[in-house]
Amino acid sequence: MSNTQPLRGFTTISYWADDLEAAKQWYTELLGIEPYFHRPGYCEFRLGDYQHELGLIESKYAPFDTRTQVPAGAIMYWHVDDVNATLHRLLSLGARQLEAPRDRGHGYITASVIDPFGNILGIMYNPHYLQVLDSTRKA
């Protein structure tokens, strides 16, 4: 067995948009930063404590499940310090609530929205995230 870990951590999450320019403007407003990387059909932001990457891609490049004939995808939960305040901000920017804040036990709280471009954006207060962040700062 190899000593290499099969999954080392989150690097980039990609969201899809029919109107890439509108999505870029919306996420710039939400995040308070401009994308650092641009190319035709794609732009990317770096954000958060570990400079994770959020990519926006024109929908024509979206993965498609040929068996079910529906778009493929997943929900990525982003750590936030205040789920209710972040949810309120997302809704004020035109997102639609998918899941109301929900206490998952042991301090974990989640919620999700659908952004104006049809992507699910998950938000979570995650005590483990903060523990890991704190331990890396002490190291």
Q: Residue 86 above 90 pLDDT? A: yes
In a domain, 7, yes or no: no
The total number of structural domains in the chain stands at 1
Let me know if residue 2 belongs to a domain. Answer: no
Distance, in Å, from the CA atom of 94 to the CA atom of 97, rounded to the nearest integer, reads 10
Does any domain span residue 4? Answer: no
Mean pLDDT score, 97-113: 93
The answer to whether 15 touches 53, Cβ cutoff 8 Å, is no
Domain-embedded: residue 96: yes
Tell me the residue range of the domain where 36 lies: 12-138
Does the structure show a pLDDT above 60 at 91?
A: yes
Q: Give which of 119, 100, 120 is closest to 111, Cα–Cα.
A: 100
Residue 122 within any structural domain of the chain: yes
Q: Is residue 66 part of a domain?
A: yes
Q: Residue 91: CB partners within 8 Å, gap ≥ 6?
A: 97, 113
Residue with tokens 């483990």: 128
- Separation between Cα atoms, residue 8 and residue 29, nearest integer Å: 30
Distance between CA atoms of residues 120 and 114, nearest Å? 5
- Separation CA 77–CA 59 (nearest Å): 21
Q: Does any domain span residue 3?
A: no
Q: What percent of the chain has pLDDT over 90?
A: 62
Instruction: Assign residue 31 the CATH number of its domain.
Output: 3.10.180.10
How confident is the prediction for the chain on average, in pLDDT? 88
Q: Name 8's Cβ contacts closer than 8 Å, sequence gap at least 6.
A: none
- What pLDDT does 139 receive? 79
Tell me the pTM. 0.80
The reply to whether 5 falls in a domain is no
